[in-house]
């Protein structure tokens, strides 16, 4: 299953998103393989999808909140 190698890579890319967020703020970070360009913070306003092909990081009270891919 590709999640075995994707989770560590997504986590590493998430640390880059954290560093960028600290400097300039990020409304939404979508991390993964072949990301749909139409996904943004507004598309997740009603909540995150139960089945996720990508990791998603959204602003929380103090930092980005990371939700891993599960497909």
φ, ψ for residue 19, nearest 5 deg: -65, -40
pTM for the full model? 0.86
Residue 27 has pLDDT above 80, yes or no: yes
Which residue segment(s) compose the domain that 59 sits in? 3-67
Total domains, the chain: 1
Q: Please state, in angstroms and as integers, the Cα–Cα distance from residue 61 to each residue in 5, 54, 65, 71, following that order.
A: 30, 22, 9, 27
Residue 37 or residue 29, greater confidence = 29
| 20 confidence band (pLDDT: 50, 70, 90) | very high
């Amino acid at each position: 299953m590709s999640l075995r190698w994707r989770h560590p890579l997504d986590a590493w890319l998430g640390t880059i998103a954290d560093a960028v967020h600290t400097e300039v703020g990020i409304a939404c970070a979508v991390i993964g393989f072949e990301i749909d360009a139409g996904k943004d913070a507004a598309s997740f306003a009603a909540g995150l999808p139960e089945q996720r092909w990508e990791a998603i990081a959204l602003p929380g009270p103090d930092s980005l909140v990371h939700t891993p891919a599960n497909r």
